[in-house]
Amino acid sequence: MKPPFVAESGPDGRPAYKDRPAERRPPGPVSAAWLQRVALYYLERYSASTEMLRRTLARRVDKRARLRGEDPAPFAEIIDATVARAVSAGLVDDVRFADMRLATLRRRGTSSRGAAAKLAAKGVPRDVVEAAMQAERDAIPDVEAADIELQAARAYAKRRRLGIHRRPDTRALHRDRDLGALARAGFSYDLARRVVDADPDEME
C-alpha cells in the first residue's frame, strides 16, 4: 500500500506531494507595533483622511482577529491610538486632504454638490469640506470665483464628450441626454443648458 499523501514521481523524477494538505499558521497577534507598520505602509501609498485611515486599520484588525479566532472589539483602543499618532505626526490632515482632493475633483469636472458628497464619503467632516470650498473661492479673483462651477461643468462635458464635444451632426440628437448627464452630476439645469448649447467658437 502506498504511504499516505505521497504521490508518484513527477516528470522531473522528484516526488510530487500533491495530496499533502497545506498547513497554515495563524498570523501573529494584533499589536500596536504591527498596526503602526500597517498605518505607515498605507499612508506611504495613499493620501487619506483621518476616517479613511481608521476604516482601513479596522478592516485589517478585523481580518487578523478572525483568522486567529479572536473578537476584534477589544482592539478598538489600539486603532484609536494609532490614528491619533498619525494625526499628531502630521501624516494625516483632513484639511490638507480636502484641499488636494477638491482640486483633483475640480480638474475632473466635479460639481460642488458632487465634490461635497465625495469628500463626505471619504469621512471628511462637513465643516472641513465647507472650509475647503471657501478657500477655493478665496484663492482666485472674485470674477473667476463666480465661474468655478462653469469651468467644472465644461471640464465634465469635455471628459464625457457631451455637447460641443460630440460630432456636430449628433449634438441635437443627444441634447436631452447630455443635459440629464450634467444634472445627475450635480450641475444646475441653467448651467447644463449653457454648456450643452454653447457655441464652439465662443468656447474657443
Question: Is the model's pLDDT at 146 over the cut of 80?
Answer: no
pTM of the model: 0.78
Q: What is the pLDDT of residues 102-134, one digit of tens each?
A: 999 999 999 999 999 999 999 999 999 999 999
DSSP state of 26: P
Average pLDDT along the chain: 88
Which residue, among 161, 164, 166, 154, has the nearest Cα to 191 in the 3D structure?
Answer: 154
C-beta of residue 148 within 8 angstroms of C-beta of residue 106: yes
Closest CA to 153 of 201, 188, 116: 188
C-alpha cell at 185: 452630476
How many other β-carbons are positioned within 10 Å of the β-carbon of residue 65? 18
54, three cell numbers: 481608521
187 vs 24, 91, 107, 128, CA distance in Å?
53, 34, 15, 22
